[in-house]
Structures are given as structure tokens and as C-alpha cells.
């Protein structure tokens, strides 16, 4: 009612229970109602705020519209024909910003410090310092820069905002010089990387051409006449350069052979046995429900658990042997069938890497045949059966050629009492498939199938030769850590050039002769230390 009493003279009285015409000159409708009703509802003795300025006169059209509705005397018609929040019109004058208003919990303080324009700030700075800002000429700004090394690098050439002190001439020149140096360094780095990429691409194209031409020779000439051509000089040279991936599995199978006379049907028999044992092992852990042929129940359970654990660790970066991967079940089958085929050996950590490499190059049954025959070789059998006396013979033979080829590094290792078993065991157990990149490991396998166990130890000496300068500067701990995890950027060209430089001869004795002499000395020593028979 107080709001209506202050309406302009000449207006008709409003209809009963009508809605208040809200003016949006102020901050919001809640503020308007508070400002209009506050003086009447203050407690006795309170101080009322200053009386707000009366609203501007209402436009004629709105006054007539209100009169018509009031004359009709219909409150519902007034509700549906009028908006509760009236729209702003051009006739409304903006409220004074310095006038105090109302908000939900108190007054809105007047805005005193309005934001200053950047030109005003620049003028105040010039008046205070007495320095005039002279923008650089347009020619000084960078134009058509062909090379932008980084998106933020060129910001050093930009002028400061107008509300900051301008650059001096010396500072601008220094920034230009720093920018030119950064661009020059970035250009050199980019050109160097471009040359490196081109070189890698040229080598890759050349390698692909060599592989394509070699594949034709292997398929059309060598494989049809395997027995007659495998030992020729031409084939051995092609073998050293690496086997084409399309014929690699076939050549490996022929080179490893099948002395155990394993057939695909035999593999299926042992695979079915393995599946039965997995089923019984998963159903119950009772010792009576798990039968074993040649190994204890504890060893069998340990083998089954190790297989599950090691499969997930096999080439984790490929994601094909992990659970749910395309080769997970296949690898599990080959390893499980082998534990049933050779219960005296069982499963040993590291076998999963050998089986995985074979699975990537051969069919399932052929991979199992090659796997079983490969592990039946004297060196692999000695390591996987953990025959300590035989393993020591191999380490001793390795040290003979180590001292012959790398005398400085050999003495360095001796000074720290660093024995070959610290790094060789992991290399031999996995045939370098875990320590080297997969493509490089496959090339090592190529020549290993050609030369036998000798090449495994020759490869170890090649790795030591490749990193000889680095290893000579390390102590025991760092050498062991380095050789346990070799650098990932090792290339086949560098490694095989170092392997080729290793001479596997000692006093005109080759590897086989040195190893045989060590075996003979060991037998004579055993005879001398054997107790005399009792009479």
C-alpha cells in the first residue's frame, strides 16, 4: 500500500489483490521490495536508511494498460496479462553506481575505485616517471618468420602490454639476439633429427629389399635342398644377415631338428593330460586327487602356479600373452604339455619366453616340438635342470674366452669378484629374448640355430664388448644392474659388429675343445679325490 501511495498523481486506484509493478532500475526485485518496505518495518528507535530516489515516470502506454486492467476489475486477468518481471526499456535511466543498495544480508557498498583504462595508466606512469613511451617502428616487429621453434619462444619479441613499462632499446636488442640464438639451435636440432629419420628410413628400405630378395633365395633354392646347402658358405653368410620372417620358423625347425621324434598326436596326448590336471587342481587341492608321474605333488602345484604367474610377465609390452590376449591360452597349453612330457624337468622360470618366441613363428604343435627338442640340448638341459657342476663348466669356458678377447674388462670384473653367473644365467635361461629387443633376439636365435650353444656365449661377449667403456667406469652394483637390464636402444648392426669381432679360439682351441678339456680335467680331479676302496 505504501508503494501505491507514492504513485504518480492522476493514475486510477489499482484493483484489489493486484500484483506490484516492479521496476528493474535497481539491482533485483528483492532489493526493490526491501528498499520500499524497509522504512515502515524498522524497530522503534532504529535509524532508517536514506530515502531512495523515486522511480522515473511511467510511460504512457504502460499507464493506459494498467488503467484498463484495473477498470476491468479482474485480478486473474491481470495476473495472466502482465509479467511479474517487467522488461527493461530504453526509457529507463541506469541507476547511479555509487548509491548504496540492499542485498540479502546487508547493504551493497558503493563502487568507488572503477577500473582504469590502459591509456590512463600509461599517462599516469609517464607523468610520474617523466619518460615517454615510444612504440618500436613497424620494421622492428617480426615479419614472416619461417621457422617457429615453439609457440612460446617468440613471445620474447612481443611488446609489453600498454599498462606495463615499455622495453628499452637495449632490452629489445638483447631479446632479439636471444630469440635468434634459440631459432638457430632449434633449426640445427630439427635438421639433425630430419637427417637421422632419413637415414633410418633408408636403412629400413634397404633392409626390406634385402629381406625380399633373400626370401626368394630361401624359398626357391635353399629350403628345397636343405640337407645339401645348409653347410655351404653362401647359406651361412645369408644366415648371418638374418632370416626373413616368413621362413624363420621353418628354418628354426629344420635347424633344431626332432631327435625326440615327437609328433603332433603326442602333443595332443600330453595336452589333454595337462588339462585334466589343471581341472583337478582347480577343483581340489587335496594331494590324493592330484596324480603325478615322476614328480611330487608339491612340485606339480608349484609348476602350475609358476606357469600362471610367468605367462602374465612374458613380453608385457605386446599384450598378446596376458590373460584375454590371443596367445595366452596357446602359451599356457604348450608349457602345460611340456611339464607333463618332462616331469623330471617340470616348469622353470624363463621357459615362457622361449615358448613365446617359438609360438610367434610356428604353429602350435610345431612350436611344442621345437621347444621340447631345444630344451633337450646339453646346455639348456644343464641350466634348466640346475646341474651346478655342468653350469660351472660353461662359466669356466666363458671366462677363458672372456680373458682372451677383453682382458681389461676381465681384470676389472675380477677386481670386484664379479662372476659370470650374475648376468649369464638370465641370458641363457631366456636365450636373450628377455634381455634384448624382440627383433634383435630373433636374429640372435637365427645364428644360434646355425652355430649352437657356442653362439650364446659369443653373444654375451659381444654385449660386453659393446659396452666395455661404460662398464670399466662402474662398480660391482652398477655393473650387475646394467647387465641385468640392458639399454633398449641397442641395434642389431652395432651388436653383430661386436659379436663378429669376438674370436672364439684360445691357443688354437675352439669352444668345443676348451669345454671338452675342462670336462676331462674335472673327471680326473674327481678320480684323484675319490676315496680308496677298502680291502
pLDDT at position 299: 57
CA distance 156 to 175: 6
How distant is the alpha carbon of residue 316 from its chain centre? Answer: 12
The mean predicted confidence, pLDDT, of the chain is 77
pLDDT at position 175: 86
DSSP per residue over 314-383, as a string? SSTTT-SSSTTSTTHHHHHHHHHHHHHH-TTT---TTHHHHHHHHHHHS-HHHHHHHHHHHTTSHHHHHH
CA distance 226 to 31: 100
Sign of the alpha-carbon torsion through 355, 361, 364, 368: negative
Is pLDDT larger for residue 139 or for residue 236?
A: 236
Is 248-282+302-376 CATH 1.10.8.270? yes
Could you count the other beta carbons within 10 Å of the beta carbon of residue 382? 19
- The mean per-residue pLDDT over the stretch 455-469 comes to 96
Is pLDDT larger for residue 370 or for residue 313?
A: 370
pLDDT > 90: percent of the chain: 46
- Beta-strand relationship, 101-103 and 106-108: antiparallel
The set of residues, in sequence order, having a beta carbon less than 8 Å from that of 171 and lying 6+ positions away, is none
pLDDT at 53 over 90: no
pLDDT at position 203: 84
pLDDT at position 306: 79
Confidence of residue 167 (pLDDT cuts 50, 70, 90): confident
Is pLDDT larger for residue 81 or for residue 346?
A: 346
List the beta bridge partners of residue 106.
103
Structure-block grid coordinates of residue 43: 524497530
pLDDT at position 171: 86
pLDDT at 364 over 60: yes
Is pLDDT larger for residue 517 or for residue 136?
A: 517
The three-state DSSP-derived secondary structure of 474-488 is CCHHHHHHHHHCCCC
Is pLDDT larger for residue 392 or for residue 4?
A: 392
pLDDT at position 289: 43
Is pLDDT larger for residue 464 or for residue 108?
A: 464
pLDDT at position 535: 39
What would the pLDDT profile of 365-421 be if each residue is shown by its tens digit?
999 999 999 999 999 999 999 999 999 999 999 999 999 999 999 999 999 999 999
pLDDT at position 151: 54
Is pLDDT larger for residue 457 or for residue 1?
A: 457
What would the pLDDT profile of 252-307 be if each residue is shown by its tens digit?
999 999 999 999 999 999 999 988 888 877 665 544 444 444 444 455 555 667 78
CATH class, range 384-523: mainly alpha
pLDDT at 111 over 90: no
* Least confident window among 132-141, 227-236, 373-382, 409-418: 132-141
Amino acid at each position: 500500500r505504501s508503494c501505491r501511495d507514492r504513485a504518480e498523481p492522476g493514475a486510477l486506484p489499482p484493483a484489489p489483490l493486484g500484483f506490484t509493478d516492479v521496476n528493474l532500475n535497481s539491482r533485483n526485485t528483492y532489493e526493490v521490495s526491501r528498499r520500499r518496505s524497509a522504512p515502515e518495518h524498522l524497530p522503534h528507535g532504529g535509524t532508517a536508511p536514506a530515502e531512495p530516489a523515486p522511480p522515473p515516470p511511467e510511460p504512457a502506454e504502460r499507464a493506459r494498460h494498467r488503467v484498463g486492467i484495473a477498470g476491468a476489475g479482474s485480478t486473474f486477468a491481470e495476473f495472466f496479462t502482465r509479467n511479474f518481471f517487467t522488461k527493461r526499456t530504453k526509457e529507463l535511466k541506469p541507476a547511479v553506481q555509487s548509491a548504496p543498495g540492499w542485498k540479502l544480508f546487508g547493504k551493497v557498498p558503493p563502487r568507488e575505485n572503477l577500473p582504469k583504462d590502459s591509456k590512463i595508466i600509461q599517462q599516469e606512469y609517464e607523468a610520474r616517471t617523466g619518460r615517454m613511451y615510444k612504440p618500436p617502428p613497424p620494421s622492428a616487429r617480426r615479419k614472416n618468420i619461417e621457422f617457429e621453434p615453439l609457440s612460446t619462444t617468440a613471445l620474447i619479441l612481443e611488446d609489453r602490454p600498454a599498462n606495463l613499462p615499455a622495453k628499452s632499446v637495449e632490452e629489445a636488442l638483447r631479446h632479439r639476439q636471444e630469440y635468434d640464438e634459440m631459432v638457430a639451435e632449434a633449426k640445427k636440432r630439427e635438421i639433425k633429427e630430419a637427417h637421422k629419420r632419413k637415414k633410418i628410413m633408408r636403412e629400413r628400405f634397404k633392409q626390406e629389399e634385402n629381406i625380399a630378395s633373400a626370401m626368394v633365395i630361401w624359398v626357391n633354392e635353399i629350403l628345397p635342398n636343405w640337407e645339401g646347402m645348409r653347410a655351404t658358405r653362401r647359406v651361412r653368410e645369408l644366415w648371418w644377415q638374418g632370416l626373413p620372417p616368413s621362413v624363420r620358423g621353418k628354418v628354426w625347425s629344420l635347424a633344431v631338428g626332432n631327435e625326440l621324434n615327437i609328433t603332433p598326436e603326442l602333443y595332443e596326448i600330453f595336452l589333454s593330460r595337462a588339462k585334466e590336471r589343471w581341472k583337478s587342481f582347480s577343483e581340489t587341492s587335496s594331494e590324493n586327487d592330484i596324480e603325478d608321474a615322476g614328480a611330487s605333488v608339491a612340485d606339480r602345484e608349484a609348476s602350475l602356479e609358476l606357469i600362471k604367474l610367468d605367462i602374465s610377465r612374458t613380453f608385457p609390452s605386446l599384450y598378446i600373452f596376458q590373460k584375454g590376449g590371443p596367445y595366452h591360452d596357446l602359451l599356457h597349453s604348450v608349457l602345460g604339455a611340456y611339464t607333463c612330457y618332462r616331469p623330471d624337468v617340470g616348469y622353470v622360470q624363463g621357459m615362457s619366453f622361449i615358448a613365446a618366441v617359438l609360438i610367434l613363428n610356428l604353429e602350435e604343435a610345431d612350436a611344442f616340438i621345437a621347444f621340447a627338442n631345444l630344451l633337450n640340448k646339453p646346455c639348456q638341459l644343464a641350466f634348466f635342470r640346475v646341474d651346478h657342476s655342468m653350469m660351472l663348466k660353461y662359466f669356466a669356458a666363458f671366462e677363458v674366452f672372456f680373458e682372451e678377447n677383453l682382458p681389461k674388462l676381465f681384470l676389472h670384473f675380477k677386481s670386484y669378484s664379479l662372476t659370470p653367473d650374475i648376468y649369464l644365467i638370465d641370458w641363457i635361461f631366456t636365450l636373450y629374448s628377455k634381455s634384448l629387443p624382440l627383433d634383435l633376439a630373433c636374429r640372435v636365435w637365427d645364428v644360434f640355430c646355425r652355430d649352437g650353444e657356442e653362439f650364446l656365449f659369443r653373444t654375451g661377449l659381444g654385449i660386453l664388448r659393446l659396452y666395455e667403456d661404460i662398464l670399466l667406469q662402474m662398480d660391482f652394483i652398477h655393473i650387475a644392474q646394467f647387465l641385468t637390464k640392458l639399454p633398449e636402444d641397442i641395434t642389431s648392426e652395432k651388436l653383430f659388429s661386436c659379436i663378429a669381432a669376438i674370436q672364439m679360439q684360445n691357443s688354437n682351441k675352439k669352444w668345443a675343445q676348451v669345454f671338452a678339456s675342462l670336462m676331462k680335467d674335472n673327471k680326473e680331479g674327481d678320480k684323484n679325490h675319490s676315496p680308496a676302496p677298502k680291502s
